[in-house]
Structure 1
Amino acid sequence: MSPQLPLSLTKHVALVVETSNAYARGLLVGVRKYLATRPAWSIYIGEHSRQDTDLSWLEGWHGDGVIARIENEQTALQVRKLGVPVVDLSSARLALEFPCVETDDEMMARWAVRHFAERGIDNFAYCGDSRFGWSINRQEHFSHQVRAHGQGRLAHLFELSDSGTAADSRRALVDWLHSLPKPVGIWACYDIAGQELLEACKVANLAVPYSVAVLGVDNDELICNLTSPPMSSIQPDATSTGYLAAQLLDSMMVGAVVDPELYPIPPLRIEPRLSSDVLSVDDPLVVKALRWIREHADESIRVDDVTRQVNLSRRSLDYRFVGALGRTVHDEITRVRMSRVAELLLHTDWPLTRIAERLGFRQSEYMGVAFRRHVGRSPGEFRQLNGGTRSL
């Protein structure tokens, strides 16, 4: 057991950071990572939400420093009253006297525009939440990037609202979606907004990703993989953000001067999923066929099944597919079904026989041969190389 530090050397730190979402929990992981090899801190944390203004749990607390996501004026006021060093974790910048560590919103906006543009989409939209300063910042950066990309092109904007009922908000979102030029790429300010977008697309009967492609922020694995279709998302480096915030606060608590500026942390990557897995398609019959293939990818579907849905001959539909996508209907069925095989290999511990049965393959051996031909590796090799849950 390591010796306990004298109380006079222990730093008492309050964490005003919610634990209700993946990004905030990542921040806390970063703080904990910093503390693993540094002098002891005594942590004080209370459960609250993003917009919670009740910080009465801090009454009577006498500490040495605070790390806070200052998302509203009331939180800024209460944190100021503590009279201790503070590091902010919100780009809302409601307390400019404190240093702020936050994800680089400008870089994320640039990535979002490029993500859609690479898929042939030249209509851009942003779904924001004006309650949060970082959402407003992302909207401004996104609008600028869209203008730069399209020589003055404008981004279509929508603000989620917590006024009225959830049904009212859904109807407003559906109306906005109908008004947009198609196909359109929509950047959601965070994954919850992206989830609402995808649900509204179902109500509006808009094909995702062919008419509407959606990209979120935070890469919350649970939310992104529960949406239908699974949602693409930008992965911020929350751990590094929390780590740097703890590092700066540690310096401030021993008397170092830290400039009260924004310290931006670059995002890690875009995690592509089906919600934006598309090349821009203008042909409505191709869009209809693609949507049907996606919806029935877990079945043993054939080209003739698809042609019946759009009332075209195989030759005519192949001609349209090659013109729009550069591949035939059969190629697209194979691509989508092999993607489903890969998904089950990575996210389950199912043996090949169970995966084949789930996806309607007559034999697991046939599925394995088709997968190797498409991917270049056997299912077992693919699972091992990509960190799957077990080898076959």
Structure 2
Amino acid sequence: MDSAKPRNPSETNGEPSHTPTMFRNMKRVAVLIETDTSSGCSVIRGIADYAERHGGWHLLLDPRDHEHRSALPDGWSGHGIIARLSSRQQIDQVRACGAPVVNVDDIYEDLAEFPMVITDEAALAEQALTHLLDRGFQQFGYFAPPSTQYSKKRGEAFVKAVEEHGFTCREYKPGYRPGRKIGWVEQQRRVSRWLASLPQPIAILAIDAAHGRQLAEICHLNSFRVPDDIAILAGDPNDVFCEVSTPPLSHVKVASEKIGFTAAEMLDSLISGAAAPKSAIRTAPHGIAARQSTDLLAIDDPMIVDALRFIRAHAHRGIAVLDILREIPISRRGLEIQFRNYLGRSPAKEIRRVQLERGRELLAKRELSISEVAHACGFANATRFGVAFKKEVNTTPLAYRRELLAGQKDRDAGY
């Protein structure tokens, strides 16, 4: 009988006929994002979080072809795709699939047909530069060997930010085209030559943690001290590379999990028939994870260095400028003048900046109440903390926490 014949997979939207009904009714989403990097896994975690919250999703994670390239399986039929579009072949494949696509990378600039959720590179550059300026650096570099695996946008944004602050950014430009394979010895030689040409001390933003660690290795081989001669800040985190690097690497806390959550939310609306946004959704990083590779105060006045170290060690105790003057043999006027000379702000504002920087970090700890965060930063109560935070960050601590934790699972009841 005809009813006994197995149905064609195409008649069940690409699912075999024996697939249970509950799975056939799920939204099938292909996730073309690498699972062998920390940032890729974080994006996927955000996607999975959205899928878990809303239910009815089946995720095809990081499918590869016979050459281990990210690609859809032959004959795959699904409802949508979230991809890090990183090759023309991949772009042609997802275009031919016909399903809605959300792109989470900006390697290609001519893909207006695909809505994007990406890192706000201008915000990343400003956060990175502020972190380095706060440590007294006035010489800057950018390290990103030519590659087809990442965008030029990060370097362009950082150079622009540096120049807008009145400084010069020295980029690594070895003179070979993206995609050309360069051996370790030759690359080491080229990078070593570039490092030797730089003024010191200098702070360098590396495109990501892998290249930050590579830079640290080459500094070590050439007897450049990190961070004394060359400070290194990674533009993207990788827990292993940042932790095992010598010294451990500071990095920008890119909001990868939030990017994944937002991309999934956007794809869900596209699947439901909503129009794609006309411009990319740009997500600002969550700040800087400071480690030893930038732990230097590049200031040639020992008393100001001591004052800054005192602030960083004791700001959370609610200190005032008078507490600094009790420890450092300098007049209040001299302290004010030198702080404005080196940092462009008063000692009181530096205390407040350090307190609020700690506040941003602690707001990521869901187990702490706003009141507990306030006291841990040196404020008498949550109200004073909220007023200072709103004035500096232009949002309340609670709103900042909600934004910071967007795309993460609710591990506790409430904020």
Q: TM-score, normalised by structure 1?
A: 0.68
* Aligned mates of 2:190, 2:55 — CA distance in 1: 52
1:117 alignment partner in structure 2: 133
Q: 3-state DSSP class of the match of 2:54? A: coil
How much does 1:217 deviate?
2.4
> Which of 167, 174, 177 is the aligned partner of 2:192?
174
> Which of 42, 55, 60 is the aligned partner of 1:44?
60
Query: Structure 2: which amino acid aligns with 1:322?
Result: P
> Which of 188, 194, 197 is the aligned partner of 2:212?
194
Q: 3-state DSSP class of the match of 2:34? A: coil
Residues 129 and 162 in structure 2, CA contact (< 8 A), matched pair in contact too: yes
* Aligned mates of 2:40, 2:91 — CA distance in 1: 18
Unaligned runs of 5+ in 1: 283-320, 336-385, 388-392
Unaligned runs of 5+ in 2: 1-19, 314-364, 367-415
Runs of 4 or more off by more than 4 Å in structure 1?
A: 4-8, 51-54, 159-162
1:13 alignment partner in structure 2: 29
How much does 1:259 deviate?
1.7
Residues 100 and 260 in structure 1, CA contact (< 8 A), matched pair in contact too: no
Residues 82 and 267 in structure 2, CA contact (< 8 A), matched pair in contact too: yes
User: 1:183-222, aligned counterparts within 5 Å?
Assistant: 183-222=201-240
How much does 1:52 deviate?
6.4
Residues 219 and 235 in structure 1, CA contact (< 8 A), matched pair in contact too: yes
* Aligned mates of 1:105, 1:174 — CA distance in 2: 27
* Aligned mates of 2:173, 2:46 — CA distance in 1: 31
* Aligned mates of 1:233, 1:20 — CA distance in 2: 19
> Which of 305, 313, 326 is the aligned partner of 1:325?
305
Query: Structure 2: which amino acid aligns with 1:227?
Result: S
Q: 3-state DSSP class of the match of 1:209? A: coil
Residue 155 of structure 1 pairs with residue 173 of structure 2: no
* Between 255-264 and 203-212, the greater mean CA deviation after superposition: 255-264
Residues 30 and 243 in structure 1, CA contact (< 8 A), matched pair in contact too: yes
* Aligned mates of 2:290, 2:278 — CA distance in 1: 35
Residue 232 of structure 1 pairs with residue 243 of structure 2: no
1:106 alignment partner in structure 2: 122
Cα deviation per residue 1:319-368 (whole Å; 9 max; x = unaligned)? xx8368338xxx99xx9xxxxxxxxxxxxxxxxxxxxxxxxxxxxxxxxx
How much does 1:133 deviate?
7.0
1:278 alignment partner in structure 2: 296
* Aligned mates of 1:159, 1:19 — CA distance in 2: 30
1:324–1:182 distance in 2 versus 1, CA, 3 Å: farther
* Aligned mates of 2:268, 2:61 — CA distance in 1: 17
How much does 1:58 deviate?
1.9
* Aligned mates of 1:223, 1:120 — CA distance in 2: 26
Residues 98 and 261 in structure 1, CA contact (< 8 A), matched pair in contact too: no
Residues 63 and 73 in structure 2, CA contact (< 8 A), matched pair in contact too: no
How much does 1:84 deviate?
0.7
2:101 alignment partner in structure 1: 86
* Between 85-94 and 207-216, the greater mean CA deviation after superposition: 85-94
Percentage of identical aligned residues: 28
Query: Structure 1: which amino acid aligns with 2:197?
Result: S
Query: Structure 2: which amino acid aligns with 1:101?
Result: V
Query: Structure 2: which amino acid aligns with 1:257?
Result: A
Q: TM-score, normalised by structure 2?
A: 0.64
Residues 13 and 67 in structure 1, CA contact (< 8 A), matched pair in contact too: yes
Q: 3-state DSSP class of the match of 2:234? A: strand
Cα root mean square deviation, aligned:
2.7
1:30 alignment partner in structure 2: 46
Cα deviation per residue 1:247-299 (whole Å; 9 max; x = unaligned)? 110111111112242101111120000000001156xxxxxxxxxxxxxxxxx
* Aligned mates of 1:242, 1:17 — CA distance in 2: 10
Query: Structure 2: which amino acid aligns with 1:75?
Result: Q
Residues 19 and 47 in structure 1, CA contact (< 8 A), matched pair in contact too: no
Residue 60 of structure 1 pairs with residue 75 of structure 2: yes
User: 1:250-261, aligned counterparts within 5 Å?
Assistant: 250-261=268-279
Q: 3-state DSSP class of the match of 1:43? A: strand
How much does 1:41 deviate?
1.3
Query: Structure 2: which amino acid aligns with 1:221?
Result: D
Cα deviation per residue 1:221-248 (whole Å; 9 max; x = unaligned)? 2211100011000111111110010011
Aligned length, in residue pairs:
288
* Aligned mates of 2:137, 2:108 — CA distance in 1: 33
Residues 12 and 44 in structure 1, CA contact (< 8 A), matched pair in contact too: yes
